[in-house]
A = this chain, B = another copy of it.
Amino acid sequence: MALWGGIEAGGTKFVCAVGTAPDKLSAEIRIPTTTPDETLGQVVEFFQQQQALHGEIEAIGIGAFGPVDVNPDSSKFGWFLNTPKPGWQQVDFVGLVKRELGVRVGFDTDVNAAALGEHRWGNAQGIENFIYLTVGTGIGGGGMIGGKLIHGLLHPEMGHILIPHDRSADPFPGSCPFHQNCLEGLASGFAMEKRWGQKGVSLPADHPAWALEARYLAVGLVNYIFTLSPQRIILGGGVMEQKQLFPMVREQVLEQLGSYLDVPAITQNIDSYIVPPGLGSHAGLAGAFALALAMAE
C-alpha cells in the first residue's frame, strides 16, 4: 500500500509521521520548534530515513502555523511570512521539503489542515460550510466555504477579531502583542495564564475563569456566524479539552445571538452545532495526511 507523510508544524513542536493512513502510522516523531535550520533539518532527516527504509513516499502534507503563503500561484508559496516567531520569517518551508525529499507537497495552515481532516474523517463529513477553531496557546481558525478551504488574500487569522471588552468586569488588558485585547488577547490559553497567574488546566472547573472564557469565545463564534453562516463549528485545541466549556459556550452563543437568527440548526440543535473535533487532538496530523492525499486526487 502507498505510503504518505504528514507534518503538523506548530509553534512549539513539529509532529512528523508516515503511514498508509493517519490511523495506520508506521513511524512518528516529535521535534521541538527551535531554529528553522535545526528543526527543518531534523524533519528532513526523519523522512529521508523513512524513504531509505520503505521506499517512495507518495506525497507529504503540511499544516503550518502562520502567517504562511498558501497561494499556489505565488512565488512564495509554502513560505513562512512575517511570523512573530524569531528566525522563522521568510523561510521557504515547502521548497526545502520538495528539494531535499523529492516528493509532492500539499500545504495549508494548521487550522485549515485540521478542518480538512475533520471534513474527511471527523465531525465535518458531508458538511460544505463550517469553521474549525483552535483555542490553545493562541486562537486560530480555518474551515470550508462551498466545500473549499477558506483562502483569500492570505488566509484567515480569525483569532485576531476585535470584540467587546468590559474592563470593569475584566480589567486584564489583554495579551496580544499586536491588538492587545482582540479575541486571542482575551481568550487564548496564554491570556488565561497571564490573567489568572496560572495555567487554565490548573484552574478548577467551577472557577469564574471559565464563565468569562465561555463569554469571550461565544462573542467570537457569534461574529463568525454572522459573517459566514457556517453549518457547524468545531472547537479544538488545548483549552477546549476542558469539556465543561462546551455547554457554557453553547448557552452564551444562544444568548448573544439575541433571537435574531431563528434557525433550528442553531436554536434547537446547539449541541450538534458547536462540537469538539471528531479526531480529537489528532485532527492536525490527520489533516496533514488529508493534504497529502489531496495531492494524488
Q: Which residues of A come within 8 Å of B, CB atoms?
A: 67, 81-82, 129, 141, 145-146, 148, 150-165, 178-179, 181, 219, 222-224, 226-231, 256, 258-263, 265-266
Contact = CB atoms under 8 A, between A and B. Distances in A.
Contact of A157 (B160, B226, B265): B226
B263 A154 contact: yes
B164 A164 contact: yes
Contacts of A229: 150-157
A162 B219 contact: yes
B154 A145 contact: no
Contact of A146 (B151, B159, B179): B151
B160 A162 contact: no
Main secondary structure of the interface of A (DSSP, over half): loop
A266 B153 contact: yes
15 contacts: A82-B262, A145-B146, A150-B229, A153-B230, A153-B231, A154-B263, A158-B227, A159-B226, A160-B260, A162-B164, A162-B222, A162-B256, A178-B260, A179-B256, A227-B227
Most buried by B among A67, A150, A224, A260: A260
Contacts of A266: 153
Contacts of A146: 145-146, 148, 151
Nearest to A70: B229
A163 to B, nearest CB: 6
Q: What are the 10 A-B residue pairs with the smallest beta carbon separation, nearest first?
A: A152-B229, A129-B152, A178-B260, A145-B145, A178-B258, A161-B223, A160-B226, A146-B148, A82-B262, A157-B226
Contacts of A153: 129, 229-231, 263, 265-266
A230 B153 CA distance: 6
A48 B23 CA distance: 62
